[in-house]
Chain A
Amino acid sequence: MSRILLSRRTLLKSAAAGLVTAPLMGIERAAAAGLTIGIIYVGPRDDFGWNQAHAVAASELKKVPGVTVVEEENVPETVAVQKTMESMIKLDGAKLIFATSFGYFDPHMVEMAKKFPDIEFRHAIGLWSKDKHPSNAGSYYAYLHQAHYVDGIAAGLSSKTGKLGFIAAKPISSVLQNINAFAMGARKVNPKATVQVIFTGDWALPVREAEAANALADAGCDVLTCHVDSPKVVIETAEKRGIMSCGHNASQKALAPKGFITGAEYKWETIYKNFAALLTKGEKLPNFERGGYDKDYVQNTAFGPAASDAAKAAATAAIADLKANKPYVAGELKDNKGNVVVPAGKIIDNYDVFLETTNYLVEGVIGSIT
């Protein structure tokens, strides 16, 4: 079977694909390039959130000479993504695949990496490990929780009630890390601060997100932030309610001209630019790429009008520490059920994968994972 497919790919590459009589411009273009990269998104590429952030940053790859980028949006986390990868490989001649949604990793990307050992696969976030996963697969991830930690510091100092609200989609590790970091930041500057978390249950539920924002405002929270696909609704609802907000994913400063404090932003473009540079030199991409403020993979949105001077000062100092790769997670750290998760005296390095297996909410967070 694979021999037949191989020959088909060769056919494609030779651009003389006599399968269809009429000329297919797209195929020739894709096949003529030196390297074709496929990028897969779980939602619409222009969702003003997670997918758009990737799409914008990934356009860096298009600037590399000889590289052709093919993209597909709204690919569900089912066998469909396997077939999309295969289709990119077999019909477009893709040699490198970026998969940008959590659920793409296991089993879908892992399966495809086993099936196509000559093709490189990279996943945003997936916890790739040398022992468990194929060597032509890998993952890259930016420690957004560092920026959420800075958000927490600024929010803790700007809040008057000490009650902060966090609207989250699902209790997965990357979300829990952000909630915990936000809480740790806030409680560093205001030990009495609490973070009330509401899980909506899915990535894009605008009505429930708005309801959650209203419910948190009603419960006395005066700063809201979130981790959902598109934070627009949450930030705008907070602004409507006359309370403050911190952004997520990209800059939402313009959406809250009164209440914006700061926001946690990915800088995917740094990662993709680095990748592009490696590709230009003809080098292989790393299998396990991680980084935060120290590598300029994340940033905080420029302060909004609601950030107090104290907040700005403390946040700026925290950013400087993180840029110097100073750890911010240290024992004794308890979860919100009273269990010790980091014993006293222990310091968690910023690159410790322990953080990426977070499955608890820290002390000070009001809420439950299930």
Chain B
Amino acid sequence: MPVPRGAVATPQVVEPPIGPRVRIEPRDGAAGPRDRIAEPHHRFAPPPPGDPPLTAVDATTALPTADASARRRVILASVEAVLVPIAAVAVAVGLFSVFLVALGKSPQTFFELLWRGGFGTAFSWQNTLTRTAPLIFTALAVALPARLGLMIIGGEGALVIGGFAAAVVALPFLGVAPAWVILPVMFVAAALAGATWIGFVGALRHARAVNETISSLLMFYIAVAILNFFVEGALRSPADPNKPSTTPIGSENMIGVIPGLEVHWGLAFGVVLAIAAHVLMTRTTFGFAARVTGGNVRAARAQGLPVGRLMIAACALAGAAAGIAGFFEVAAILGKANASLVAGYGFTGILVSFLARHNPIAIPPVAVLFGGLAAAGGLIQRRMGLPDATVQVLQGLIFLTILLSETVYGRIPFLKPEGRR
């Protein structure tokens, strides 16, 4: 599928924010190597030299990678990919320290507690990883459509509907079927419900050009209304008078934890799903078509790509990911569907996806970072008497500096392959 480079890399590509890496800035001309360096999967996971290019884009740019200077470029790009985010976090830490000092608090204590609460002990890791699991799914729900240039911010709605569907389909099986029947049924129901929910958003976009950002946000509120209507009404279990919920699926049907950890299987599944999404986006025709569409819809149409179907498929996959997050909330944590499903995982997932630059393989580590911050937030509150919003301020700062650091890629003198721009 040879695609003219220009079609993929017209300057008007702005969204998705992965765009910049596919985009060739006008001032860079058609400098293939620059583009190559900026490919997302190289930044986070540099492939071994000689990695066989599987897409047309790679094929055109990969030709020069045979020589040593290209190898050097890849290494430099990897160094850059590590150094720049670290520097960005350092800047955020510096700014936040000033903020703390201004408040009369010790930055040293703060960051020691942050480390301790998030990563410093075995328990901290359990805590962090438990909070990580749902974020991987909800971030994937943002990342996949983003590669097509679709900005879905209502993944929370698909999580809610997925979790609700899982709890509801389990009802007729309870006490009748064993867990190995019930859980797969719940899983499929959650994934399907989520896929339908966001798939509908994609279909609206395709069939009626309804903006997906706004429709997914609106549908989140509708999802919550549906959940509460049934959970507080027809499907309410008498078991808990003070927290309206569906009938509990029972501990015998709950998903256990990963051996050696106290984290449920959702984490492992999330990582697998992230890798699968990565493969899908980088190694398949679907992924290539999606990226072309994300680069330039008109060009994709001109190439005869089924843009509408791609959009709906990406949205459905995204919704399935969010729905699976809902499944794990129900099957591994809550044991029932109730308003606790609306916990903001979907919205935090947006942050995670953006920080991971909508790159599926980068989502798990970024989710760990967010999980760690959340895990440490409690310890900081308790030890330093700081309000919970403190960690939110720090999150905002880190987010800002990492996003701003995008601008320095390729502009650091000692990391430039040619030593100059």
Instruction: Assess A/B contact in the complex (Cβ within 8 A).
Output: yes
The yes or no answer to B122 lying at the interface (CB within 8 A) is: yes
Contact with B along A200-218 (1 / 0, CB 8 A): 0110000000000000000
CB-CB under 8 A from B262, the residues of chain A are: 1
User: Number of A interface residues, CB 8 Å?
Assistant: 54
Binds A, one of B290-298, B299-307, B372-380: B372-380
How far apart sit A201 and B124, CA to CA, in the bound complex (Å)?
35
Q: Quick one: which of A25, A86, A370 contacts B232, CB cutoff 8 A?
A: A370
Q: Quick one: which of B130, B229, B244 contacts A83, CB cutoff 8 A?
A: B130
Q: Quick one: which of B238, B379, B381 contacts A359, CB cutoff 8 A?
A: B238
CB-CB under 8 A from A16, the residues of chain B are: none
The yes or no answer to B406 lying at the interface (CB within 8 A) is: no
Docked-complex contact A24 and B242, CB < 8 angstroms: no
Q: Quick one: which of B100-135 are within 8 Å of A by CB?
A: 108-109, 112-113, 115-117, 120-124, 126-127, 130-131
Docked-complex contact B123 and A5, CB < 8 angstroms: yes
Docked-complex contact B121 and A8, CB < 8 angstroms: yes
The yes or no answer to B344 lying at the interface (CB within 8 A) is: yes
The yes or no answer to A254 lying at the interface (CB within 8 A) is: no
The distance from the CB of B322 to the nearest CB of chain A, in whole angstroms, is 16
Docked-complex contact B120 and A20, CB < 8 angstroms: yes
Question: What residue in chain A is nearest B392 (Cβ atoms)?
Answer: A74
How far apart sit A293 and B352, CA to CA, in the bound complex (Å)?
50
**A5-B122 CB under 8 A given contacts A77-B340, A105-B242, A172-B242:** yes
Docked-complex contact A83 and B112, CB < 8 angstroms: no
CB-CB under 8 A from B130, the residues of chain A are: 79, 83
Contact with A along B12-48 (1 / 0, CB 8 A): 0000000000000000000000000000000000000
Interface residues on B, range: 35 or more
CB-CB under 8 A from A19, the residues of chain B are: 116, 120-121
Q: Quick one: which of B221-261 are within 8 Å of A by CB?
A: 225, 228-229, 232-234, 236, 238-244, 248, 260
Docked-complex contact A71 and B382, CB < 8 angstroms: yes
The yes or no answer to A296 lying at the interface (CB within 8 A) is: no
**A78-B241 CB under 8 A given contacts A8-B121, A20-B120, A72-B382:** no
List of 5 A-B pairs having minimum Cβ-Cβ separation, nearest first: A370-B233, A26-B383, A173-B241, A70-B382, A74-B388
21 contacts between A and B (CB under 8 A): A5-B122, A19-B116, A22-B108, A22-B112, A24-B383, A70-B383, A72-B382, A75-B378, A76-B343, A77-B339, A78-B329, A78-B340, A79-B333, A83-B378, A87-B378, A91-B116, A91-B117, A107-B335, A173-B242, A174-B242, A370-B232
